Amino acid sequence: MAKTKVVVVDDSALVRSILTEIINRQPDMECIGAAADPLAAREMIRNLDPDVITLDVEMPKMDGLDFLSRLMRLRPMPVVMVSTLTERGAEVTLKALELGAIDFVAKPKIGVADGIRQLAQDITDKIRVASKAHIRRHHAPAPAAAPGEAPVVPKPVTVANIGRLSTEKIIFIGASTGGTEATKDVLVNLPPDSPAVVITQHMPPGFTKSYAARLDGLCKIRVKEAQDGERILPGHGYIAPGGMHLSVERSGANYIARVQDGEPVNRHKPSVEVLFNSAARVVGPNALGIMLTGMGADGARAMKVMKDAGSYNFVQDEATCVVFGMPREAINAGAADEILPLGQIAPRLIERLRSTAGFSTNRV
């Protein structure tokens, strides 16, 4: 079997050496080159034709995001970002995912060498996933207006209110690899009177707060990182904090968020399984489930439990997934009511809500 060819791009000689060692220990992959900056990486990619590259976020000679943007326009290929656990690192990483990077690894702020070695399995797992991912070409931004001309302002997308909406409904979203952008695609198309949305996206600590803030600036609903014990309200989205499980509980007439530590479930914390099981147990027929792109099977069984409890479930189709693992497993488990391209999920969800408004306890 042919090995996955990897090029490492990092300005630290120590990090390059460690990543090369980690990759070369794997029987199914090989580090075929290591570059200290994007200019050297450009030549290496052209000459060696790697399957995957790992790319440091902050690089000399050319900004890592600049390099990634050019790469995804001119020669789209799987990229795994190597990020720092800082607020700035989180912001840049989210931008990298928007530009087309498949995933990221967060290296610690101190003890980098030992920290990267401890992340060896995570790094190599993400390289394997990236090597099989669906790559999308990143299009160049619209040209700036010429001097003296009015700037081109994108026309805002108008989303009509749902109307006569039962506040009992809650939308549950599970996602992993490729899910930061897929979740955004769903949320930006929801109206301000949408039911509450509760989201588990596989992310490490330190990144979900920036992710929630980014979504809050783009969406008509308010989006925030979930806090333990807070009331879950319509018109709001709640993101599971990195490294913590999120579930929903009932408190009298209200739904509340439960944010708790605990053992990983399906190797993940937060876990979609935890969230979706709470949806089945607490929300039942008032739940709407959405399974988006991601590797593995986290949440698939629980989504079937949701359906058995009366929820209506949407699953992203293979053609629009970065990785079709979690959606495929949900479909195989019999959890899907509809299998849709990503761009059709929000419109069909809204259509479903409008058709059932006022009938929140009955499945149609």
176-205 confidence digits (pLDDT tens) = 999 999 999 999 999 999 999 999 999 998
Residue 176 appears among annotated catalytic residues: yes
pLDDT band at 153 (very low <50, low <70, confident <90, very high): very low
Average pLDDT over residues 127-132: 96
Average pLDDT over residues 220-231: 98
Q: What is the pLDDT of residue 361?
A: 41
Q: What is the pLDDT of residue 294?
A: 97
Cβ-contact 321, 293 below 8 angstroms? yes
Cβ-contact 311, 280 below 8 angstroms? yes
Tell me what percent of the residues of the chain surpass a pLDDT of 70.
Answer: 88
Distances (CA, A) of 9 to 14, 48, 56, 104: 12, 14, 6, 13
Q: What is the 3-state secondary structure (H, E, C) of 214-264?
A: HHHHHCCCEEEECCCCCECCCCEEEECCCCCEEEEEEECCEEEEEEECCCC
Q: Of 35-44, 201-210, 301-310, where does the model show the most confidence?
A: 301-310
Q: Is the pLDDT of residue 158 over 70?
A: no
Average pLDDT over residues 155-176: 74
Catalytic residue among 176, 194, 210, 247: 176
Residue 138 appears among annotated catalytic residues: no
Catalytic residue among 69, 271, 298, 311: 298
Sheet containing 222-225, strands listed edge to edge, beginning at the edge strand earlier in sequence: 222-225, 236-239, 196-201, 170-175, 287-291, 312-316, 338-340
pLDDT band at 133 (very low <50, low <70, confident <90, very high): very high
What does the buried/exposed string (b/e) look like for 42-51 if buried means 16 or more CB atoms within 10 Å of the residue's CB?
A: bebbeeeebb
Size of the chain in residues: 364
Domains of the chain: 4-132 (3.40.50.2300), 170-356 (3.40.50.180)
Query: CB atoms < 10 A from the CB of 249, how many?
Result: 14
Catalytic residue among 51, 56, 69, 202: 202
Residue 122 appears among annotated catalytic residues: no
- Enter the tokens of residue 343: 């761009």
